[in-house]
Amino acid sequence: MFALIPLFPLLGAAVNGLAGIRFFGRRAVGAVAVGAAGLSFAAALASFAGLVRGGEPVVVKTLFSWLPGSLVRLSSGGLASLRIDLAFRYDSLAAVMTLVVTGVGLLIHIYSLGYMAKDRSYARFFAYLNLFTFAMLVLVLGANLAVMFIGWEGVGLCSYLLIGFWFTKDSAASAGKKAFLTNRVGDFGFLLGTGLLVYALGTVDIAGIAAAVGSGALAKGTATAAALLLFLGATGKSAQIPLYTWLPDAMEGPTPVSALIHAATMVTAGVYMVARLHDLFSFSGTALVVVALTGALTAVYAATMALVQTDIKRVLAYSTISQIGYMFIGLGAGAYAAGVFHLMTHAFFKGLLFLAAGSVIHALSGEQDMRRMGGLRARVPRTYRVFLVGALAIAGVPGLSGFFSKDEILAAAFASGNYVAWGLGLAGAGLTAFYIFRLIFLTFSGEPRFSSETAAHVHESPRVMLVPLEILAVLAAVGGFVGLPPILGGGAWFGRFLESSTGHHEIHLAASAELRLMALSAAVALAGVFAARAVYVTRRGEPARRAAERFKGLYRVVSNKYFVDEFYGKVFVGGVLALGRVADWLDRRIVDGLVDGV
């Protein structure tokens, strides 16, 4: 059954891509796309139910032998037969990921029926959306690194197509190319890491790598090098330092694309890859420290940039970079289930926030600048209510999903002795609560700051857009209870369910210490919420304006994204262009000069 999960989106992409509106009407195009996503979700749900009812914990289905067997020389000097099958692997980790990808993806497809209703390239959009879902499912179901890499490259290609969907806009076309090229740097790391494992072990199978690590067949230095190279790939797909710069520009794509990239597909790929290769990463303490510290630094760094953004979607983009950082803190602490738990809750509340932002943009006829919003609480009450739920969840307010997953990550970091990652994560939690409620208050509170012409057309979104939002709001509110810790009377079901895939990890903390950490995390989140209210509601933004004036230099640096884009452009892009000019001169003057006139 699980092999059917990626098949339906592929068929949907093929039908709409090859036929589309030329043969069907818009209604049929939407029905094909949503039907394909719905059937994929149904197959994922049926496969999950079979696993929960006591099915085989790990099932591998080989479709055909891609590389039947080729002799390769190993680093030890011996020979091995490298066999690569086009095979899918289904276990508890794959079950969670397929449910997230297909479930959230289905809601985004339904929402898109309303959001993209008037777009001229309706069929092309849904073909790309189905294809994106297919590529992500191939990635999460791949039984070896070769099949995973097909999906890995597939989501990269689809992100290029969807970010640059409105390719007649120069900014959209440039953003698509930037995402594609930045990810090629990370993909090179993925390939080098895979090649190193082939050279050392003669296999790319997930099970084979785990067995080699367990038997001691893989040297620790080789494991560290391979893990760090693979993690470079993860920083590209999951937009972490240093390869994060593509994600904010990806906001040039339609809002449903932003939701799909941030919540259900591309940016979670790196997190999934590290969790899938947990045996390899756990074997190298150095790799885990690098993963945790990279995540912690990214979490705070991106949160500072979210504080000063004025575009509603860009606030959420930097928020995603920051929240993915929390997932890597959990993975780096060895708490792989905690990292995946936050991946799941993040899919709920970030999908909700992006789609709700799209509802706001739809209500304001395309306006995205929060400085020209305000007073929308009474105008779009249903959108406001679901947006508020998403904001409370990402802020980590007690009782909502984000609180449970974020708290488990911070507790794991503290228990592992990585106090730097814990401290940065705690600081990031306060910043998260502040910037997301800054967004809420600027968008929905106070007096309207939009024109009278816009005010005449402000409207609530249609039902086809609101229903997916309300479903995601419920999931964002209660989804964390599947991982309710024992200290709060739960059974930590989510972590126990993933044990067969990600290994057992226990947080060794006294109950009193765990409760104190939980209370501190909640207090920091609530402090961020009330600070945002004091600044943007009580004082109407005056403290923020005074701070920007007083610390003009710092504000300029942060609002210009620390000038990292400019640095990359001058050093790397400029360097490549200079090298190209040198090569051009050598070709014309030296190579051609030797034969011209002969």
pLDDT of residue 504: 74
pLDDT of residue 511: 86
Q: How confident is the model at residue 454 (pLDDT cuts 50, 70, 90)?
A: confident
**Is the same domain home to 146 and 87?**
yes
Interval 519-529: pLDDT, tens: 999 999 999 99
Q: Which of 279-293, 330-344, 499-513, 543-557 bottoms out in mean pLDDT, i.e. has the lowest? A: 499-513
Residue 536 has pLDDT above 70, yes or no: yes
Q: How confident is the model at residue 48 (pLDDT cuts 50, 70, 90)?
A: very high
pLDDT of residue 71: 63
- Per the structure, the complete domain to which residue 586 belongs is given by 565-595
pLDDT of residue 334: 93
Q: Which of 67-81, 267-281, 374-388 bottoms out in mean pLDDT, i.e. has the lowest? A: 67-81
Say if CB 193 and CB 233 are below 8 A apart: yes
The C-alpha atoms of residue 555 and residue 567 are separated, in whole angstroms, by: 18
**Is the same domain home to 523 and 418?**
yes
| Amino acid (one-letter) located at 144 | N
Token couple for 341:
């738990």
**Is the same domain home to 361 and 418?**
yes
pLDDT of residue 269: 95
588 to 29, 68, 574, 592: CA distances (angstroms): 52, 46, 21, 5
Nearest to 241 by CA among 34, 510, 424, 440: 424
Residue with tokens 């490259």: 153
Q: CB neighbours (10 Å) of residue 594?
A: 9
Q: Which of 95-99, 234-238, 496-500 bottoms out in mean pLDDT, i.e. has the lowest? A: 496-500
* Average pLDDT of the chain to the nearest whole number: 92
At what angle are helices 542-550 and 552-559 packed, to 10 degrees? 100
At what angle are helices 220-237 and 145-163 packed, to 10 degrees? 20
Residue 76 has pLDDT above 70, yes or no: no
**Is the same domain home to 483 and 433?**
yes
Q: How confident is the model at residue 75 (pLDDT cuts 50, 70, 90)?
A: low
**Is the same domain home to 573 and 439?**
no
**Is the same domain home to 552 and 590?**
no
Interval 352-410: pLDDT, tens: 999 999 999 999 988 999 999 999 999 999 999 999 999 999 999 999 999 999 999 99
pLDDT of residue 323: 97
Predicted TM-score (pTM) of this structure: 0.93
pLDDT of residue 231: 97
Nearest to 393 by CA among 346, 430, 440, 438: 346
| pLDDT mean over 548-570 | 91
Residue 565 has pLDDT above 70, yes or no: yes
What are the φ/ψ torsions at residue 289 (nearest 5 degrees)? -65, -45
| pLDDT mean over 489-494 | 86
> DSSP letter string over 218-251?
S-HHHHHHHHHHHHHHHHHHTT-TTS-THHHHGG
Reading phi first (left if > 0) and then psi (alpha if -120 to 50, else beta), residue 139 is in: alpha
The C-alpha atoms of residue 443 and residue 448 are separated, in whole angstroms, by: 9
**Is the same domain home to 467 and 582?**
no
Which SS3 state, helix, strand or coil, does residue 561 take? helix
Vertex 448, ends 445 and 452: CA angle to 5°? 160
Interval 282-332: pLDDT, tens: 999 899 999 999 999 999 999 999 999 999 999 999 999 999 999 999 999
Residue 349 has pLDDT above 90, yes or no: yes
The C-alpha atoms of residue 331 and residue 326 are separated, in whole angstroms, by: 9
Alpha helices in 508-561 (DSSP H): 511-533, 542-550, 552-559
**Is the same domain home to 79 and 221?**
yes
Say if CB 250 and CB 239 are below 8 A apart: no
Say if CB 127 and CB 19 are below 8 A apart: no
pLDDT of residue 237: 95
**Is the same domain home to 439 and 580?**
no
Q: Which of 146-150, 188-192, 337-341, 585-589 bottoms out in mean pLDDT, i.e. has the lowest? A: 585-589
Say if CB 267 and CB 239 are below 8 A apart: yes
Say if CB 175 and CB 162 are below 8 A apart: no
Q: How confident is the model at residue 582 (pLDDT cuts 50, 70, 90)?
A: very high
Say if CB 347 and CB 268 are below 8 A apart: yes
Nearest to 386 by CA among 411, 357, 362: 357
**Is the same domain home to 589 and 463?**
no
Residue 77 has pLDDT above 80, yes or no: no
| pLDDT mean over 541-547 | 90
pLDDT of residue 456: 83
| pLDDT mean over 534-545 | 92
322 to 128, 180, 264, 325: CA distances (angstroms): 27, 21, 16, 5
Counted domains in the chain: 2
**Is the same domain home to 171 and 275?**
yes
The C-alpha atoms of residue 269 and residue 156 are separated, in whole angstroms, by: 10
Q: How confident is the model at residue 147 (pLDDT cuts 50, 70, 90)?
A: very high
**Is the same domain home to 445 and 582?**
no
Residue 136 has pLDDT above 70, yes or no: yes
What are the φ/ψ torsions at residue 554 (nearest 5 degrees)? -65, -45
pLDDT of residue 457: 84
Token couple for 497:
């369910």
pLDDT of residue 202: 87
Q: How confident is the model at residue 73 (pLDDT cuts 50, 70, 90)?
A: low
Which SS3 state, helix, strand or coil, does residue 377 take? coil
Residue 74 has pLDDT above 90, yes or no: no
Interval 426-437: pLDDT, tens: 999 999 999 999
